[in-house]
Amino acid sequence: MVETAQVPRRRTLSFKSYDDILADVRAMNSQPTRHLGNWSLGQICEHLAKAIEYEVDGAPFPVPWYLRAVGPWLKKRIITRPMKPGFKLPKSASEYLPVNTDASEGIERLEKAIARYLQSPTLKPHVIFGPMTREECDQLNFRHSEMHLSFVVPQ
C-alpha cells in the first residue's frame, strides 16, 4: 500500500470545468500511464463518480460527528486550495472506496454521474460540509478530481 501523502512527481492539474475533467481522463486512457498511488484510472473515475452521485442522491453512509462539526469551517479551505492526499476515510464510509473497475467502465460511470449532476435541479447537503451551493460543489469536485487524477501520469 502506497502512502499517498508522500508520493513525488504527481501531475499538477487545474480543472475549471467538468469538460476539463473528462478530457483529462480520456487522454490518460488513450496512452500508456503509470499509477503512482493505490488506485487505477478506472477506480479513480468510479470514486469521483460516487462523490458526484452523492451530491444528487445523498451519501449512503454516516460520518463521525466530529467531522460533521468541523466540516462547515473547513469547507472554504477545501474548495479553494489543492487537496492534500493521504486522508483516510472512516470505516463507515467504505462504500465510497472503489472496487476493481477498468478504465472504460470508470470513465463511463463518471460521464453519467456528471451529466446527471448537471441536470439535477437540487443537490443534497454534503455529508461533511453540510449545505453547499452548486458553485461550491463544482469547486469541491474540481479539487477532488485534481488530487486523485494527479496520481495518473503518462509514461
Cβ contact 132:75 at 8 Å: yes
Q: Domain limits at 82? A: 19-154
Residue 42 forms part of a structural domain: yes
In a domain, 26, yes or no: yes
Closest CA to 71 of 128, 126, 137: 128
Residue 82 backbone dihedrals phi, psi, to 5 degrees: -60, 140
* pLDDT tens-digit series, residues 59-80: 998 888 988 899 999 999 999 9
Q: Is the pLDDT of residue 90 over 70?
A: no
Q: How many structural domains does the chain have? A: 1
- Is residue 92 in some structural domain? yes
Confidence band for 89, pLDDT divided at 50, 70 and 90: confident
Tell me whether residue 65 is in a domain: yes
Residue at 53 is within a domain: yes
126: in domain = yes
- Residue 7 lies inside a defined structural domain of this protein: no
pLDDT in tens, 105-153: 999 999 999 999 999 999 999 999 999 999 999 999 999 999 999 999 9
Q: What angle do CA 128, 79, 25 make, to 5 degrees?
A: 100
- The pTM of this model reads 0.94
Q: Which of 154, 116, 117, 144 is nearest to 48 (CA)?
A: 144
Residue count (the chain): 155
Residue 90 CA to chain centroid, in angstroms? 16
Among the listed residues 92, 40, 85, 84, the one whose alpha carbon sits nearest the alpha carbon of residue 64:
92
Does residue 11 lie within any of the structural domains? no
Cα gap 132→72, rounded to integer Å: 9
Cell representation of residue 1: 500500500
